[in-house]
A = this chain, B = another copy of it.
């Protein structure tokens, strides 16, 4: 009896550190996985080979494959380069996924280009009007998934309800939360509070089959009032970047304090592991990356500054999504909800 090898495709050229961190993450993912895992590394072959030599791979060496890509979409490039640059690692990774060579794609690259390449190569799942980027925020109860964090700065009510449905399926399938609580991000609990979008979305959410808990406010995210927080990509992106910047802000504040005071220097050493965890708490990459929901494929993007461990987590989380048939479940949930959505 042969055990099936699961295969994930990794864009090895993205991120702030290029192939070094991506290759290290891939090796960690393979070596530490509890199941046979293969990773297809896409990017500059010689660079990837040079990095691979620095690592020790368990097993018989059949767990890594390299597919050469002659181009790279850089972080500062426009999103449209994800479609235009056909020989970029992002584009090739998406095509390999479409051809069924791997069951998921992970990238630490340009998020906009990754989404554009996904849309161009994979298309949308049936019933999805707008794919979205979902992102884990920390919370006192564990974690909260915020959808959308930037793919759709301008939304209609129907888009928001779809985000709620897709996020709900993800949290159930990948995080094991039964009947996730879905909250609509607004500026007051009353359905009448908010802007035009939230006020008209509220009614459709109530008609949906979601476990909708109503409007939630900015303070309810970290408190973990909802498992899925729905907002347009403008608000979500501003919140995400604000939260990410807390890391640097806390680090610098600790540094200033340490240089000012001997006692707190000792305190900082003793509190070190905690302070590090606190800073990492607001880095979404630690939680398995940000899934792109609604594409006809399983795609996860990680922060450009991801550690090998973060990339490892993202690879595993993507594989878990495949394993739990997340896309079939999203398509099913959307087709079940179609009547209530069109009542709008």
Contact = CB atoms under 8 A, between A and B. Distances in A.
A233 B186 CA distance: 11
Kindly report how many copies of this chain are found in the complex they form together.
Answer: 2
A217 B233 CA distance: 13
A244 interface: yes
Contacts of A341: none
A221 B243 CA distance: 11
A270 B278 contact: no
Contact of A194 (B221, B234, B267, B281): B234
Contacts of A239: 218, 238-239, 242
Interface residues of A, number: 55
A219 interface: yes
B241 A238 contact: no
* Overall SS of chain A's interface: helix
A264 B257 contact: no
A59 interface: no
Interface stretch (A8-16, A32-40, A162-170, A248-256): A248-256
Contact of A270 (B234, B241, B266): B266
A237 interface: yes
Given A264-B270, A268-B267, A270-B263, A187 B140 contact: no
A257 B268 CA distance: 14
A220 B219 CA distance: 20
A245 B273 contact: no
A267 B274 CA distance: 10
A243 B246 CA distance: 10
Given A222-B248, A238-B239, 10 more contacts: A140-B249, A217-B241, A218-B244, A219-B241, A221-B242, A222-B246, A250-B278, A257-B274, A270-B270, A270-B271
12 contacts: A153-B187, A153-B193, A187-B241, A195-B234, A219-B241, A223-B248, A257-B274, A264-B271, A264-B274, A267-B268, A267-B269, A267-B270
